[in-house]
Structure 1
Amino acid sequence: MVKLLIADDEKYDREAIISILNGEFGNKLEVFEARNGREAIEISEQYRPDIVITDIKMPGINGIIAIEEIKRSLPNTYFIILTAYDYFDFAVEAVKNNVKEYILKPFGRLELVDKIRKAITYVDKEKAKRKSEIENAEKLNNLISAMENELSYYILSNTFEAIDEQMYKDYLNLTFENTCSMVIEIDDNTGLCNNQTKKKIGEYIKGYINLKYRAIGTYRFTKELVYFIEAPMDRSDEDKKITVVKLAVDIRKEVKRLFELPINVGIGRCYTGLSDIYISYKEACASLDKRGDSNITHIDNIKENQNDSGHNVDSNKLSLFKDIEKYIIDNMVEELDLDTVAAKFNLSCYHFSRTFKEVVGCNFSDYINIVRIKKAKEMLRDNSKSIKEVCFSVGYNDPNYFSKVFKKYEGQSPTEFRR
């Protein structure tokens, strides 16, 4: 049903229009009456008419002013001017306010019916158009949400070979530059935080982050809530760290206020490119794991607060892992993975990983890179080998990946270091 408002100070004119409309359109129209501009505005706010027929000259607020006010809250309303004053100035004002039709008194039945039928057709088309737009927007939002979860899965599993990175950039409005990971653990000692609550908290945090930064997030593949946030480009590394930590502080306050649940937050460094964002995710997980009494921990704070390697570690562990370190150094050009090296020394992967970090001071993959980059720096000082040859000589198979890792640990590319 289409809602129509008639605003006219002449009761006879209102009744004549209503009689014609009822006879022609019957239940297709729901008709409201207003005796002046003020009533037209009030009725419009309450009932939100699709079509407004208004006289121009009315006591108090005239028709033009009433149209201006109604348009503020109902911009899609179809306006028809009805007046006995055939003045050019009124017509100009009407056009400015996007009035669709202009009827002069006295009006004929056929003219009125024709223009109302035209108005109804317009309103029906606009409603259909808006419905289609809403449905399309809903489909797009569902697609975006699915793509966020899909991309998050690829990052979490560190599998990027078969994906179209540019497609994700376009749809998600992300550049994957200066992006860090934030991993959030809901600290629920009561056990009352079910999946539905987790989802609500996860969606709220994502919306909160998106008020300031471009970000995606997921809560489907891990117990924790995971987010990937693009930090401001024009800031130093220290400023980016401060910015993201402050964001985490604000998120924690909001979640506590709204959901009455405390959270713990781990944050990784900012990186560029999907494969390096995975590194940030692992750093965020490590930050959460090693947070101690702190509710919010950045990976740099863990590095800064660690004791020197080997302190408070028993001599048997120290001796064993000195042998492991030597094995890694001697075999750096080989494909070294945690499972193989752990098996070599008759250790379980879990025990190997935990104890390695305890003794050496960093995780297994970091140590492999540190050893290789250290050797690469020695070789780069000698110009007899190309950068590509150095890359292969220290155990990397891809010069581009070698350059990325080198820059991560040294802050400059191999070419810049050689200069």
Structure 2
Amino acid sequence: MKILIVEDEFYMRKALIKIIHGKYNNDCEITEAENGIKATEYFKDNYFDIVITDIRMPQMNGLELAEWIQKHYPHTFIIIISGYSEFEYAQKALKYKVKEYILKPLEKEEIYRVLDTVFKEVDVKVLKEKQEAILIKNATQAIERQELASIINNRQNLNKEDFMELLDIESEQIFFSIMVVRYKKVINEQVKESFKMIFRNANNIKTYYNYANRNEMLVFSYGYNSLKHYVDEIYSRHLYCIKNMISMGEADDVVIGISKTHDRIIDFSVAYDEARQSLLNYFLLGWGKVYIYSDNMNSDNEPMKMSNDLFNRFKSGLMDGDLIRSTNTLNRIVEFLVNYKNNESTESTAITIQLFYMKLEIILDEVANKNNIKLDTRKEYDSFNEVGDLVDYFSRLISIICKEMDLKNKETSVIKSLVEYIKNNYYEPLSLDEIASKMYFMNPSYLSRLFHDETGDTFSKTLLNIRMEKAKQLLDEQELSITEVAVTVGYNNVAYFIKTFKSIYQQTPGQYRKTCGNKSNMRN
């Protein structure tokens, strides 16, 4: 708590300081001034939570000081020191939002009472200000995040005017490129500030923090008039700043991707994609470099054709739930990619990495969906720092699929054996709870869920269908009575058997038998 004591009487001022330090020594920082003029000068370089001031002072009295503080620093709390004969002055101070007043002669208990009250209000005020500051910051970031997402992804099909407004562009006759600067670590406020310092003397440039990827800063480099002027005078200067950043000792922690130059502002999202695609080169070619997008990146990708056999083997291993075969094939694919990098141009490397990544994710998603396995493959391919990170990511997904498939195969085997058991023992009083605990040592609810997932029916419905099919077969043979048929298929209550049979086939067992008999006679 920062307190300013304004009192022209030296000993009174020192006594007040001593009293306050006696209780609040570790909780406050006290500054003293001998008059109002001196107090206003202290405000130039400081902020005070509380001002304790006498009323009668030379040059500027306490009421004039209170008026000045209320006008310039309305959030500062003011406490007036007043004598009895000056009480009418203290009343006037109310209009300057003076919080409390202390009567002379000063009494320790009264000072503590007043300060305890004010300290509580200051704490509440500070907390409220912090909360408001957080809300403002969050709201500002939310707006920036929404605008940047709209610009980058153009999900709302922004027109030219929308782009110009969001980017604060003066003319539609513009030439620009996007630079994506990626750091290995999440960007903090210090990095943001140092990043802005790099371009402090550069014109025609805007920098953004990419909230969608917390490791990225975006640089929007632009110019008007002519392409030659932009490339020669502006882009080259910005490129120099970017390269200089790497040479200043950040080579191991940063990589930069740059789009080609565009002349339509609505192509901002296209330029952003180009810059991020060129970044992919860092997987195989390393950090601490600037990679510039080239149209050669979109040429036919020969390595994808050459590696189709490897991808087919990878998919086959996954479909079989073979962890070792799938992992070995993944390593072969990465080895192929690394060998390809050593023999090809930089331009073709980035698109190859992206295509390989997408192909692997498509296969993983396809196998997972076919086997009803939940798999989160929505991670951005450039959210990894090294090839090893990417291999670890895919290895983890392969492990999840193979373990799930192994579990499902075991579960399928259990359900198949259970269905077979029902077919062979339908005439017994079967109970899923008993079967689960005594045969499969499972929780009955879990076994019930597995059974439904595998067969599409409940245990009781499957048992009922098997019993009814067997009853129909016995009724067709015309050898057993209806009572004997009921008992044979597991019903000791004949009336319940008849009711159940009718609910399924819309006729009683006797009616069904007559129908079958008539059909048999007609055939004969």
Q: TM-score, normalising length from structure 2?
A: 0.35
Higher RCO (Cα < 8 Å, 6 or more apart): 1
Q: What TM-score comes out, normalization by structure 1 length? A: 0.41
Q: Which has the larger radius of gyration?
A: 2
